[in-house]
Amino acid sequence: MRIALFGPPGAGKGTQAKRLAQAHGLTHLSTGDLFRTAIRERTPLGTRVSELLEAGELVSDDVTNGIVADRLETLAHGDFVLDGYPRTVPQAEWILAHLADAGAPLDAVVSLRVPDEAVVQRLSRRRTDPETGAIYHLDFNPPPADLDADALVHRPDDEPDAIRHRLEVYHQETAPVEAFLREHVRYFEVDGTGTLDEVQGRISGVLAKDRGLAGI
Ligand code: AP5
Ligand code: MG
């Protein structure tokens, strides 16, 4: 199964992609995580994109498609869940064509709908574990009590100004991709509010109902 999770910042794409990956043996491919790893490891890519991520601006399509192409090559086009990609029309055009050419087209896009107020509430209290990649929320998905709180980070783009800007970028540059995706790939909308388990159940429900998506 090859799917993509779509939605605004803080919609729960990373949280649900990890759950889907674990439940169904998919590789989780998050462009945001790939960029953050490059920044942490101070690679040339990391140096190039660091200020963009901190400000909540999008990285260029060429650079982003390039890292996705590299990563897909190492996967030899196995099953995966894309998280935060594609998020511009050129990215969507490129990935659909690239996968179709490889004989392994994208099966579906699942869009998580979450209102802006909930996004702000979620991102302002998010904490992540850079070692394990785990995503927590201080109220809604708290880290285990025995975890060293100093090991957790508050992403620089989760500061109030950057959250606001990321939402603007989403509405201006990413939300319009929806129309393109609806036209070219099976596209499902899911209510992203409620508990983590409820959202996971809705995603699995729409994928299971969609005939042709065996194995879920
Ligand atoms: P990226 O890392 O993809 O960030 P994003 O899309 O802004 O999304 P987030 O990771 O902030 O949120 P999420 O939807 O994954 O939610 P999460 O599960 O963490 O991108 C970062 C940057 O990289 C971009 O700004 C850009 O610079 C660059 N970039 C990345 N991809 C790019 C691309 N394709 N093109 C160009 N540039 C790109 O959950 C959020 C919080 O909510 C957590 O605390 C979580 O615990 C909590 N939560 C989750 N589910 C629930 C729930 N059901 N109820 C309550 N809380 C919940
Ligand atoms: Mg994420």
pLDDT of residue 131: 86
Is the beta carbon of 200 within 6 A of some atom in ligand 1? no
Is the CB of residue 190 less than 8 Å from the CB of residue 110?
A: yes
Q: Catalytic residue at 155?
A: yes
Query: How many distinct structural domains can be found in the chain?
Result: 1
Give the mean model confidence (pLDDT) for residues 110-127.
96
What pLDDT, on a 0 to 100 scale, did the predictor assign at position 199? Answer: 98
Ligand 1 mean position to 15 CA, how many Å? 9
2, 18, 19, 87: the active-site residue: 87
**Residue 57 forms part of a structural domain:** yes
Q: Give percent of the chain with pLDDT exceeding 90.
A: 88
Active site residue 87: yes
Q: Is residue 26 part of a domain?
A: yes
pLDDT in tens, 24-38: 999 999 999 999 999
The CATH number of the domain holding residue 72 is: 3.40.50.300
The pLDDT of 194-210, averaged and rounded, is 94
* Residue 216 within any structural domain of the chain: no
Question: What is the model's pLDDT at position 205?
Answer: 93
Residue 111 belongs to a domain: yes
Q: Which atom of ligand 1 is nearest to the CA of 32?
A: 2
Which residues, by Cβ under 5 Å, contact ligand 2, an ion?
14
- The Cα–Cα gap between 55 and 106 comes to 30
Q: Which whole number is the average pLDDT over 11-29?
A: 96
Tell me the residue range of the domain where 96 lies: 2-211
Residue where the block lists tokens 């790893």:
37
Look at the block and give the residue holding tokens 């508050």.
Answer: 154
- Is residue 25 a part of any domain in this protein? yes
Residues 6+ apart with CB under 8 A from 94: 61, 65, 86
Look at residue 101 in the predicted model and tell me its pLDDT.
94
Question: Exactly one of 18, 19, 122, 126 is catalytic; which is it?
Answer: 126
Query: Catalytic site residue 36?
Result: no
**Cα–Cα distances in Å, from 153 out to 38, 130, 134, 202?**
16, 7, 11, 29
Amino acid 81: pLDDT: 97
Residue 81 domain-assigned (yes or no): yes
Task: Give the pLDDT confidence of 203-215 residue by residue, as tens digits.
Answer: 999 998 876 555 5
Query: What atom of ligand 1 comes closest to residue 195's alpha carbon?
Result: 53
* pLDDT for 78: 85
Q: What is the pLDDT of residue 188?
A: 97
**What is the model's pLDDT at position 214?**
53
- Give the predicted TM-score (pTM) of the model: 0.96
